[in-house]
Amino acid sequence: MPTTLSVPAVTMLYAAVLGILLVLLALNVVRLRLGRHVGLGIGNDGSLEQPVRVHGNFAENAPMFLILLLLAELAGLEASWLHAAGAVFVVSRLLHAFGLQTQRGRSPGRFLGSLGSWTTILAMSGYLLGRSLA
């Protein structure tokens, strides 16, 4: 008789939300590139650097978080903790995107966004490391 895994519903929710945010950030870059007639990267238009990095930074962090969230869910972490981590990560990514998009250099949004994102990634990593060594 084949075994079936339970559906990782919490991870599915946050993967969907983060997927939508990724596409919205990508569309912003496309819109700006089209408007400035830039085919790749930032061309000679330094004002494209920030939106490109907003999208890139999101794309660099979200996949690792989702992998960790999925593994924690499959390992049996309570849904309330998974939702807390997911909510903090989503809000953190929004703060980071807003902070980086609106201000070059340091900004409260960028700082808090990075802090929240890294904290959730480290918390999920710590949970999984503890589970793997138990």
Q: Tell me: the pLDDT tens digits for 31-75?
A: 999 999 888 888 888 889 999 999 999 999 999 999 999 999 999
Report pLDDT for 1.
52
Spans of all domains in the chain: 9-133
Name the pTM for this structure: 0.91
> Could you write out the three-class secondary structure of the chain?
CCCCCCCCHHHHHHHHHHHHHHHHHHHHHHHHHHHHCCCCCCCCCHHHHHHHHHHHHHHHHHHHHHHHHHHHHHCCCCHHHHHHHHHHHHHHHHHHHHHHHHCCCCCHHHHHHHHHHHHHHHHHHHHHHHHHHC
User: Is domain 9-133 annotated with CATH 1.20.120.550?
Assistant: yes
Report pLDDT for 2.
56
